[in-house]
Structure 1
Amino acid sequence: MILLYVFGAVTLINCAYYLLFAKFSFSKISNKTQSEEQPVSLIVCAKNEAENLQKHIPFWLNQTYSNYEIILINDASVDDTLEVMEHYAEQDSRIQIVNVKNNEAFWGNKKYALTLGIKRAKNDRLVFTDADCYPASEEWLSKMVANFSDKKQLILGYGAYERQPGFLNKLIRFETLMTAVQYFSYAQAGTPYMGVGRNLGYTSRLFYEKNGFMSHIKVVSGDDDLFVNEAATSENTAICITPEAFTYSLPKEKREKWFRQKRRHYTTAKLYKPMHKFLLGLYYFANLLFWILSGIILFTPLWMFGLGIILTRFLIQYTIIGKAAGKLKEKDLIIFIPFFELFLILTQLSIFISNRSEKNTQWK
């Protein structure tokens, strides 16, 4: 009977998080517009991204927003990245290039390159994306920028991955979906904790007020989530989930490459604010315990009660996460939610163990 009580308590914690996520899942999509287009700087940092830049610069140049510049940062690339940038800069005066050369003190640190790009920007409002990302529409920039105001200085967008065949693609998109559901929900609840550099906006004023990336300049990752964790508040943060404002990029095709990428990303979580670390850790631990105890209780005389608890939890999960998946254009993932959740928990556990024994020192 004690096992059933413990299982019920763990499931109750699970469901409490889903009720938090419901704040995002059932919220209305805001389609803000602005009567006057304020000047904005689109900033893209690229390291050995010649091929992606060739494909994606035209998307950025083709935005309907009329008042913007593009800051292209070449972070000490050894391929034709700089040449591609220069080719487009010759054709369009909106493009400005920041060429970062090999500097031993900051070698491999994207934050140093981004800082130089931010200093080069003429405008206070900044929007960021990655070289391997393209916008969902020509309205992307205008939709993101419309969320800025005198109070709202930090905008969280959705950076999705292209839909492709295969289990790994669905797992990557499910992980991206669940991460987004969490950081959007926390932001709407008044405690924003992260964003993704694939689709992010903030003001240079906020950047300088927080001394940029100085508090975590030596950490390889975190130019997006660590800055947001430090700078975001309930008053200065807004979310942008209009489908036209999504960005898309190609997911990794091999599990090993995706695993290395997530290992690098997860190293920053230990530097989050204590409250965020506790809440995120409790969510993961409760999920892990739910699956462990589910496997145990179904083989006890109390299996019928356990099954009822399991089905209730899955119903709540399907309802809330399914609604969020529809909102973020990931409907094909809904039917497999519990299956992907289990695989993701095991993958995250594996990443945690790996990160305890090895370190990554470069962003690319």
Structure 2
Amino acid sequence: MVLLYVFGAVALINCSYYLLFSKFSFLKPTEKISSEKYPISLIVCAKNEAENLKKHIPLWQKQNYYNFDLILINDASVDQTLEVMESFAESDPRIQIVNVKNNEAFWANKKYALTLGIKRSKNTRLVFTDADCYPASEEWLATMASNFSNEKQLVLGYGAYEKRTGFLNKMIRFETLMTAVQYFSYAKAGNPYMGVGRNLAYTSNLYYENNGFMSHIKIPSGDDDLFVNEAATAKNVSICIEPEAFTYSLPKKKKENWLVQKKRHYSTAKLYKPKHRLFLGVYYLANLLFWPLAIATMFTKFWYFGLSIIFIRLVFQYIIIGYAAKKLKEQDLVPFIPFYELFLVLTQLSIFISNSSEKNSRWK
């Protein structure tokens, strides 16, 4: 009977988090925060991204926005990245190039490169994406910018991955979906904790007020989530979830490469504010315990109660995550949500164990 009580408590915690996520899942479309238009600087940091830049710079140039410049940062690339940037800059005065060379203090440090790019900007409102990302439409920049106002200084967008065949592709997109559901929901609940650099915007005022990336400048990751964790408040954050404002990038094709990427990303979570570490830790622990306890209860005389708990929890999960997946154009993931969740929890466990004994000092 004790086992059943423990299982019920874990399932209750699960469902409590799903109720939190419903703040995003059932969010109704709202009017744009501001009709006023502001000059924007689109900032892209690239390291050895010559091929991606050839494809994506034209898409950034075609953005339907009345006044923006494009700041391209070459972060000590050894391929043709700088040459590609220069070839586009020759015919487009909106493009400014920041050529970063390695130095001993900030060797291979993306935050250092981004800092130089931000300092180059003459505009207060900044939009960020990565060199391997492309916008969903020509309205991306305008839609992100429309969420700025005098009060809203930080805009969280959705950085999606292209749909491809194979289980790894679905796992990558499921992990991206669940991460987005969490940071959008926490933001709507007045407790923002992270964003993704593939699709993020904030003001230079907010950047300088928080001393930029200085508190975590030596950490290879975190130019996005650690900055948001420090600078975001209940009042200064807006979320942008219109499909035309998504960005897309190609997912990793090999599991090993994806795991390396996730190790780098997850290594920053230990630097989040204590309350965020607690909330995220409890959510993960409840997910980790749910299925072993579910199986264990099937071998007791109260198995029918356990089955009822499983059913209720799955109903919560399918409805709330299903609606969120529809908002973010990831409906094909819905039928196998519990299976993806279980695999993701086990993958995260292996990453956390691995990160406890490894160190990484570069972003690329």
Taking structure 1 as the reference length, the TM-score comes to 0.99
CA-atom RMSD in angstroms: 0.8
| Counterparts of 1:136 and 1:187, CA distance in 2 | 23
Unaligned runs of 5+ in 1: none
Residue 331 (structure 1) aligns with: 331
Asked if structure 2 preserves the Cα contact closer than 8 Å seen for 1:30 and 1:240, the reply is: no
User: Secondary structure in 1 aligned to 2:90?
Assistant: helix
Superposed, 1:17-166 pairs within 5 Å as 17-32=17-32, 34-166=34-166
User: What amino acid is the match of 1:147?
Assistant: N
| Counterparts of 1:150 and 1:39, CA distance in 2 | 14
| Counterparts of 2:272 and 2:116, CA distance in 1 | 25
Asked if structure 1 preserves the Cα contact closer than 8 Å seen for 2:36 and 2:146, the reply is: no
| Counterparts of 1:206 and 1:29, CA distance in 2 | 27
Residue 168 (structure 2) aligns with: 168
C-alpha distance after superposition, 1:116-140 (max 9, x if no partner): 0000001000000000000000000
Query: 1:35: how far off?
Result: 4.0
Asked if structure 2 preserves the Cα contact closer than 8 Å seen for 1:31 and 1:143, the reply is: no
User: What amino acid is the match of 2:28?
Assistant: K
Superposed, 1:1-364 pairs within 5 Å as 1-32=1-32, 34-364=34-364
Query: 1:295: how far off?
Result: 1.6
| Counterparts of 1:340 and 1:35, CA distance in 2 | 40
Flag as ranges the 4+ runs of structure 1 deviating above 6 A.
none
Query: 1:291: how far off?
Result: 1.3
User: What amino acid is the match of 1:96?
Assistant: Q
Taking structure 2 as the reference length, the TM-score comes to 0.99
| Counterparts of 1:119 and 1:246, CA distance in 2 | 26
Query: 1:37: how far off?
Result: 2.2
Greater mean alpha carbon deviation, residues 296-305 or residues 60-69? 296-305
Asked if structure 2 preserves the Cα contact closer than 8 Å seen for 1:71 and 1:97, the reply is: yes
User: Secondary structure in 1 aligned to 2:283?
Assistant: helix
| Counterparts of 1:33 and 1:208, CA distance in 2 | 24
| Counterparts of 1:30 and 1:128, CA distance in 2 | 23
| Counterparts of 1:308 and 1:35, CA distance in 2 | 50
User: What amino acid is the match of 1:163?
Assistant: K
User: Secondary structure in 2 aligned to 1:29?
Assistant: coil
Asked if structure 2 preserves the Cα contact closer than 8 Å seen for 1:37 and 1:65, the reply is: no
The number of equivalent residue pairs is 364
| Counterparts of 1:281 and 1:292, CA distance in 2 | 18
Asked if structure 1 preserves the Cα contact closer than 8 Å seen for 2:42 and 2:68, the reply is: yes
